Structure 1
Amino acid sequence: MAEEFKVGDVVRARMKGFAPWPALIVQPTSSTPTKGKNAKKPSHWVYFFGSKNYGWIEVKNIEPYTESKKEHLSAQLQKAFVEAQEYIDKSKENPKYVLELPPEQVKESEKEKEKEDCEEKFKQLVSPPKKPKKWFKIRVTGPIEGLTSPKKKTPLKRQNSETSSVRLSFTKRSRVSSPGGANGISDVATELLNMPFLPDAPENPSLDLCLYGDKSKSEEITPSPKTFGFIGLGNIGAAVVMNLIKSGHRVNIYNRSPSKCEKIKEKADAIKAGMVCTYKTPMDIAQNSDVIICCVTDPTQAKEVVQGNCSVASGDDDSLSGKGYIEMTGIDPETSKDICEIISSKGGQYLEAQVQGSRQEAVEGNLVVLTAGDKRLFMDCQSVFKAMGKTAFFLGDVGYATKTNLILNIIKGIALVGLAEGFSLAHRCGMSTKDLLNIFQLTSLNCKYLNDKADMIVSQDFSSQVYQAIEHMQKDMKLALDLSDQIKQPLLVTSTANEVYKNSRRLGYDGRDAACVYMRTRY
């Protein structure tokens, strides 16, 4: 049962991306912002020592206060522990002691604000405000058929100001277009209203150890005697860890969501007990592992792992001496070189290992691994690469693997946009997309990657099997464009494709497979 906390308790609160931070549970005031999207989850309003910030923290992310070794902590975190201890000491001396808190200054997340603005604009686009009807008055100076029936035909005469006139009032009729319109383009609002409903992307399916790796392949691998630390248990990371465990490697794991670590440990212990240990910080992983493997979401998080609070490189100058560091995160060459410098400055060996393949290929252990950096580390980790992939390449100095990975990803990204636009054109022409798929599969265009995406487009199911999320695809497109800016290489088609992916993300398709770019090209 979770421990109950109350106002005035000194605790350690965990925020996303940070180690547990000394904090004080305080009473919300009239200026305290609402809980936002986590309103229904039990949480406390806390004041963070040291940083002097406030925030709503879920109860599951709050733990009793304990002191920590200060040798490896950042200066700000050390200051937070000092302030927390001073408050505890003064409270013991004087039970009525009240800490003078700074005013609450909490700004709304820019990302949440941008999301609300996008939703408001989308509502206005779907349900535009009704315009008042326009009335026109026409002065008729002669007879109108159907309204007057003159007995005699009289020649037209010039009307003077004294001639009586007839006034007619009528509403302006709105133009009604056919379903396809004169040019094959229908009304925007109608199209958006008819857009198929896409349910929320499901959470990652529960891990099943029996699904990972090929038994015959695992039996051929002689596991390394080294202990491997793994940071990041996303779609690719969790699959790689499972294959390492099944092939007999000892693994230490860390993830920002501890529940994922516990699930993997439980399933691993059920088959091979003692092969997995879980830790609370990247620094703990580094201290207890021979080789550290990082597989997180983007370059920002990759840097945070090596230079943030309680990071891999938080120890002394030679804290990584004799240890290896493998970066599997999809990053750009400059970030990879920065991480290499940090690891090398601590005495470690660095290897970038970019992977090509989907989540399903990671589950099957059929990834293609592209490496560059320390060749000795590459040779020492052959058993790891065999467990996770069907082949591994060593491409030379740091940066070549990341460049190769970005080039391959923009080829896939551009091909996918072309596929989506082709199926959108077929739909607009009144053709059956199923028939087009059958023909497509008989041509030389057919390959596993495009065939899988075409199947998703025809079924319009982009959530049940997410091989590569659209935000990750767009991230790689952007990194490739950044690289092209540095070397002044124009990428005209890549730039256009990137805009299509960006528009798809604005429609709220993050978390779904990249094939959902079809929804943007069609509507």
Structure 2
Amino acid sequence: MKIGFIGLGVMGRPMANHLIAAGHELFLHRVKDVSQHLVDAGGKALESAKAVAETSEIIILMLPDTPDVEAVLFGEEGVASGLSEKKLVIDMSSISPVATKNFAQRIGKLGASYVDAPVSGGEVGAKAGSLTIMVGASETDFERALPLFQLMGQNITRIGDVGDGQTAKVVNQVIVGLTIEAVAEGLSLAKAAGADPAKVREALMGGFASSRILEVHGERMIKETFDPGFRIRLHRKDIGLAMEAAKALELYLPHSASLQQLMNKALADGLGDKDHSALIKALS
């Protein structure tokens, strides 16, 4: 298939590489030195998002935030200006569910279809092709996109209609963030009390407190290896989306609010571009 891919960051590069390796013809925008290997592997660099949309059957976005997606879709020389009927836009970024529904309506008026499919699994999952993909789409559009998702992920779930994928991702980020905070507080308590945090973690891994976050992020906290991963700056953005949704729904999320404040402190402490396991440093 002819596929456009815009957003060649830490996650986007390996995702695009899987598509090229599977034999798809990829059209890329914003190719930099760090993503030149995708062109060397067969991808074609184009000068604008519009050109990508004009050339491709399916256009995938993997961008940092809601304003970035809106600019790439609807800005000057954006994707929307290059769309025609029956083309499919797949946004795999993590952005606002409310904005997602608006974007889908605007794309639909052009005769094209829209899918939101945010992911979880980080750089490791992107490289391994083992991402969790949470999809908001009609059943028809989901089936059309599924073969591509299967090249990039393993746990692929259609949550519901457009926007529901983004809602699931926001929920994921709340649960992950609060669990990271819990592990950070627990290991900080162990250290302050004079117990070996590594031994405490080892013991807890055999009990009910065991989790993937205690396993992976707990080890990062103990060893202080905070190369991202997933940056605190981006995770804070996602928690902000959760708080915006909670406000609109008149829902009380007290611990998400405290997590947002801890992330604010982490940014103030210069930790924004560290892995989110570095939240433990913001507690000190």
Q: TM-score w.r.t. structure 1 length?
A: 0.53
Quote the residue 1:459 is aligned against.
223
Q: Which of residues 19, 28, 37 in structure 2 aligns to 1:253? A: 28
Partner SS, residue 292 of structure 1: strand
Q: Distance in 1 between matches of 2:132 and 2:190?
A: 34
* Paired letter, 1:404: A
Quote the residue 1:241 is aligned against.
16
* Paired letter, 1:367: L
Q: Distance in 1 between matches of 2:47 and 2:191?
A: 51
Q: Distance in 1 between matches of 2:212 and 2:39?
A: 33
Superposition deviation, residue 354 in structure 1: 1.4
Contact 1:283 1:310 in 2 (8 A): yes
Quote the residue 1:487 is aligned against.
249
Post-superposition, which runs of at least 4 consecutive aligned residues in structure 1 deviate over 4 A?
A: none
Partner SS, residue 114 of structure 2: strand
* Paired letter, 1:443: G
**Paired residues, what number?**
284
Residue 335 (1) aligns with residue 109 (2): no
Contact 2:179 2:213 in 1 (8 A): no
Superposition deviation, residue 335 in structure 1: 1.1
- Identity between Structure 1 and Structure 2 (%): 23
Superposition deviation, residue 419 in structure 1: 0.7
Q: After superposition, give the CA deviation of every residue in 1:395-442 in whole Å (9 maximum; x if it has no partner).
A: 222121111111111011011111111111112112222221221222
Q: Which of residues 115, 121, 135 in structure 2 aligns to 1:351? A: 115
Report the RMSD for the aligned CA atoms in angstroms: 1.4
Partner SS, residue 407 of structure 1: helix
Q: After superposition, give the CA deviation of every residue in 1:352-377 in whole Å (9 maximum; x if it has no partner).
A: 11112121011111111111123322
Q: Which of residues 89, 92, 96 in structure 2 aligns to 1:325? A: 89
Q: Distance in 1 between matches of 2:93 and 2:5?
A: 12
Superposition deviation, residue 345 in structure 1: 1.9
Q: Distance in 2 between matches of 1:376 and 1:514?
A: 36
Q: Distance in 2 between matches of 1:502 and 1:232?
A: 26
Contact 1:410 1:494 in 2 (8 A): yes
Superposition deviation, residue 461 in structure 1: 1.4
Residue 380 (1) aligns with residue 144 (2): yes
Quote the residue 1:213 is aligned against.
none
Q: Distance in 2 between matches of 1:469 and 1:346?
A: 35
Q: After superposition, give the CA deviation of every residue in 1:43-95 in whole Å (9 maximum; x if it has no partner).
A: xxxxxxxxxxxxxxxxxxxxxxxxxxxxxxxxxxxxxxxxxxxxxxxxxxxxx
Partner SS, residue 431 of structure 1: coil
* Paired letter, 2:17: M
Quote the residue 1:398 is aligned against.
162
Q: Distance in 2 between matches of 1:456 and 1:495?
A: 24
Superposition deviation, residue 249 in structure 1: 1.6
Quote the residue 1:510 is aligned against.
272
Q: Which of residues 291, 294, 298 in structure 1 aligns to 2:58? A: 291
Determine which structure has the larger helix proportion and give its number. Answer: 2
Q: Distance in 1 between matches of 2:80 and 2:273?
A: 31
Contact 1:254 1:279 in 2 (8 A): yes
Q: Distance in 2 between matches of 1:423 and 1:450?
A: 10
Quote the residue 1:195 is aligned against.
none
Residue 276 (1) aligns with residue 43 (2): yes
Partner SS, residue 370 of structure 1: strand
Residue 312 (1) aligns with residue 75 (2): no
Q: Distance in 1 between matches of 2:114 and 2:280?
A: 39
Residue 300 (1) aligns with residue 67 (2): yes
Quote the residue 2:6 is aligned against.
231
Contact 2:73 2:80 in 1 (8 A): yes
Quote the residue 1:497 is aligned against.
259
Quote the residue 1:435 is aligned against.
199
Partner SS, residue 395 of structure 1: strand
Q: Distance in 2 between matches of 1:486 and 1:360?
A: 34
Residue 263 (1) aligns with residue 37 (2): yes
* Paired letter, 1:495: A
Q: Distance in 1 between matches of 2:220 and 2:149?
A: 30
Describe how 1:26-425 pairs up with structure 2 within 5 A: 226-255=1-30, 258-266=32-40, 268=41, 275-315=42-82, 319-425=83-189
Superposition deviation, residue 342 in structure 1: 2.0
Superposition deviation, residue 472 in structure 1: 1.3
Q: Distance in 2 between matches of 1:260 and 1:287?
A: 25
Q: Distance in 1 between matches of 2:208 and 2:39?
A: 45
Q: Distance in 2 between matches of 1:444 and 1:250?
A: 47
Unaligned runs of 5+ in 1: 1-225, 269-274
Q: Distance in 1 between matches of 2:172 and 2:25?
A: 32
